[in-house]
């Protein structure tokens, strides 16, 4: 059974129809990558899953339960974390406060916190700093750390490498690999090098529709398909 099942999801933003019937299954475990050109509807898909846009019609099923129409906070409490494109941190709060907001009890599981320190040493270094004072890479680390401070079944991550230095991107890839050992990641990414190094399964969105699904290994092997769907220069 798939962890997340999206069927015929259509989303309008204002008067514009952005998604025209997106359907795909995210299996449990590993990294599922959603690829597509700019404006294809990748971010809208993630936001629709989180209930930030309301898909109509269509359905989103998570662990066998229909979560379509649930309010965003309810979806988050089901065990889905969202790391938006703009990192989604709270600049006026400290690193510690940003993380504690995402805990259920208001206190940290020390083992998870230790793991986060190992994955992202900057989190420990800047623990008492206000988040606005962090660099772009550190903010992204904080956003991801917040998504894993509690056990989650699924993390939706939107373009985590955008604007980051190559060394940070490499560190981020390493961290995602570790996170994916215990948590499923649905990753939207433009950086194909990054995406193919992590992805196990994938889908390509074009003009608000899924035009290809399969394994990343098969997609990487098929240069013609890459060129046709994404105009990629690998």
Chain residues that interact with another protein, rule: CB under 8 A: 50, 52, 71-74, 76-77, 81-82, 84, 88-94, 96-97, 100-102, 106, 128-130, 133, 146
CB of 98 to another protein, least distance (A): 8
CA distance 65 to 36: 28
Query: What span, in angstroms and rounded, lies between the C-alpha atoms of 75 and 50?
Result: 6
* C-alpha to C-alpha distances, 167 to 28, 34, 121, 123, 170, nearest whole angstrom: 29, 23, 14, 17, 5
- What minimum distance in Å lies between the beta carbon of 84 and another protein? 7
Q: Which is nearer to another protein, 50 or 141 (CB)?
A: 50
CB of 35 to another protein, least distance (A): 23
For residue 48, CA distances in Å to 56, 60, 71 come to: 10, 9, 11
Tell me if 23 sits within 8 A of 9, measured CB to CB.
Answer: yes
Q: Which is nearer to another protein, 91 or 121 (CB)?
A: 91
Nearer to another protein, 21 or 84 (CB): 84
3-state secondary structure of 154: strand
CB of 6 to another protein, least distance (A): 18
Nearer to another protein by Cβ, of 125 and 215: the residue is 125
Measure the CA–CA gap between 34 and 202, rounded to whole angstroms: 6
Name the residue nearer to another protein (CB basis): 50 or 172. Answer: 50
Quick one: tokens of 191?
A: 């950086």
Least distance (Å) from another protein to the CB of residue 222? 35
């Amino acid at each position: 059974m798939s962890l997340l099942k999206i069927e015929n999801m259509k989303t309008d933003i204002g008067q514009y129809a952005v998604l025209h019937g997106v359907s795909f299954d995210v299996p449990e475990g590993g990294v599922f990558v959603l690829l597509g050109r700019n404006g294809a509807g990748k971010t809208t898909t993630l936001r629709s899953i989180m209930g930030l846009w309301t898909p109509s019609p269509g359905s989103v099923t998570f662990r066998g339960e229909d979560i379509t129409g649930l309010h965003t906070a309810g979806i988050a409490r089901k065990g889905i974390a969202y790391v938006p494109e703009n990192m989604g941190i709270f600049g006026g709060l400290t690193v510690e406060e940003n993380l504690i907001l995402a805990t259920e009890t208001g206190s940290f599981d020390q083992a998870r916190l230790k793991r986060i320190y190992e994955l992202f040493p900057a989190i420990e270094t800047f623990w008492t700093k206000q988040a606005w004072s962090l660099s772009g890479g550190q903010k992204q680390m904080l956003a991801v750390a917040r998504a894993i401070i509690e056990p989650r079944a699924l993390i939706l991550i939107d373009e985590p490498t955008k604007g980051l230095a190559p060394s940070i991107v490499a560190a981020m890839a390493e961290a995602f690999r570790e996170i994916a050992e215990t948590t499923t990641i649905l990753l939207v990414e433009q950086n194909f090098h990054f995406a193919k190094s992590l992805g196990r399964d994938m889908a390509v969105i074009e003009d608000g529709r899924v035009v290809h699904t399969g394994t990343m290994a098969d997609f990487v092997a098929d240069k013609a398909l890459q060129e046709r769907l994404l105009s990629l220069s690998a």
